[in-house]
Amino acid sequence: MKKKEKKSETALQNNYAFTQLDDYNTRTHILPILLNDSLRKEIIAEHKENPFGFPGCPNMETKVYSAQLARVIDKLRVQPTPGKIAIFESESGNCFELVKLPEKRGAPVQFLDLKFNDRATAEHEVFRLRLKDLLISYGFEEVGERC
């Protein structure tokens, strides 16, 4: 009986260039913001004040998040989907529960037993938990616990 040969994956198949560039950008542009206590508190407060962003309106200048918060949000959005914290909305639309997305597509989500009555509070909690996960993944557990 002949064994199947395991194909080695190439750097392209492993998305090496993106992951290395993303890691570099995180270390040089994101972590300095998050490791600075006052900046981290500012962006968390700014997000709590308006977790949905600012809608554009005709004939009015559109408000935007601060550069630091926008950069951090962009980073959190490109994190891999497996294991990401998300919001599950009840059918009635009045209960929002946090879930952890599965490692494998099609597997059930893991409910985190965190329920909220309004979406804004749930969105902000997702932001805080994703910040915490990011900091812990880079070895900053103490800072992550303070988010």
Better-scored residue on pLDDT, 54 or 142: 142
Alpha-carbon distance of 93 to 76, in angstroms, equals 25
What average pLDDT is seen over the chain?
90
Lowest mean pLDDT: which of 20-29, 54-63, 102-111?
A: 54-63
39 touches 46 (CB < 8 A): no
At 99, give phi and psi (nearest 5°). -130, 160
130 touches 84 (CB < 8 A): yes
Q: To 10 degrees, the CA torsion angle through 126, 43, 19, 140?
A: -80
**pLDDT tens track for 10-49:** 877 778 888 899 999 999 999 999 999 999 999 999 999 9
Alpha-carbon distance of 75 to 95, in angstroms, equals 27
Given this model, what pLDDT does residue 1 score?
58
| End-to-end CA separation in angstroms for the chain | 56
Looking at the DSSP bridge assignments, the partners of residue 115 are 97
How many percent of the chain have pLDDT more than 90?
A: 67
Length of the chain as a residue count? 147
Given this model, what pLDDT does residue 111 score?
95
The average pLDDT across 44-73 equals: 87
Cα separation values, 79 from 19, 56, 59, 73, Å: 10, 26, 35, 10
Q: Is the alpha carbon torsion for 28, 34, 37, 39 positive or negative? A: positive
